[in-house]
Structure 1
């Protein structure tokens, strides 16, 4: 899902700036991903300058790659050097408030089954840019509470029926012998 947003952004850049530019960004993203993959989960990332020097590239390309990886939930790339590698399925610290608010809203009936979540309002309320919403919704989707689908409000994040979520968990749980 966030991967789709990134691909669409790359296509827009290709239309605007040419394929060579996009290919360079993709190559730098792949190089930074390989670099980060060598670090242990939870490890603090080196500075942008250190990564750029190790990869023989510019700080701007490293920063762009880390921003993309942050949007995809692979690293935390914050201000003031707050950067580290996330574990698989680990929730980004910026997403915790929104996740908690949506879960609470579903539980108390504020967000009704079948309705689209007001992502713009939620993003603003929790200090997230709108492009961070897909990353923030991953745990809710994984837990069967929200679905990213086409619906009455167009493509959106819709609250799922709680019974469907329970049935999904039963269907997907390993069978005991």
Structure 2
């Protein structure tokens, strides 16, 4: 197999996976109301006629986006709009508390790697949690921040932090 052939195969596999993820998302958002429990991966795969591994990848993407919550102890659930992911709440509360206490100063970049380590979250889950805080105004995201792209404490603290 040539390098060109393997690149084409990988690209095709990604397209198939992207399509499967879209199907999973459409099914969940049209079938299950916010707050509803979701069926198992196996049950979803049977209902959608997709391989379980593709359904699982779709669920993992939706989990990463904060649209559903996997591994909640009670099975997966569809989250409500603006509902924080259950695994992010401890990090979000700690960041708010640290801003209020002056541990994080206005204009300071958050140490996302350290926060992920402290709370046992993968980098994309830290980003999911911080996106939520950014949406409520407790943080801001700067592409060209003083310390590079990242989440920063606003110069004037938002109401959501108090």
Same fold (TM over 0.5): yes
Does 2:29 correspond to 1:49? no
Residue aligned with 2:149, SS: strand
Partner of 1:156: 150
Post-superposition shift, 1:101? 0.5
RMSD, matched Cα: 1.9
Partner of 1:22: 14
Distance 1:30 1:85 in 2: 15
> TM-score scaled by structure 1?
0.80
53-62 vs 145-154, which deviates more? Answer: 145-154
Post-superposition shift, 1:17? 5.3
Judged with a 3 Å threshold, the aligned counterparts in structure 2 of structure 1 residues 112 and 15 are, in CA distance, closer, same or farther, namely farther
8 A Cα contact 1:97 1:126, kept in partner: yes
Residue aligned with 1:148, SS: strand
8 A Cα contact 2:72 2:86, kept in partner: no
Distance 1:81 1:100 in 2: 23
Post-superposition shift, 1:140? 1.3
Runs of 5+ consecutive residues of structure 2 not aligned to the other structure: 1-5
8 A Cα contact 1:145 1:162, kept in partner: no
Distance 1:131 1:102 in 2: 17
8 A Cα contact 1:41 1:85, kept in partner: yes
Residue aligned with 1:51, SS: helix
Distance 1:30 1:108 in 2: 42
Runs of 4+ in structure 1 over 6 Å off: none
Deviations 1:107-146 (A, max 9, x none): 0110001011011111111121111112101231122121
Residue aligned with 1:144, SS: coil
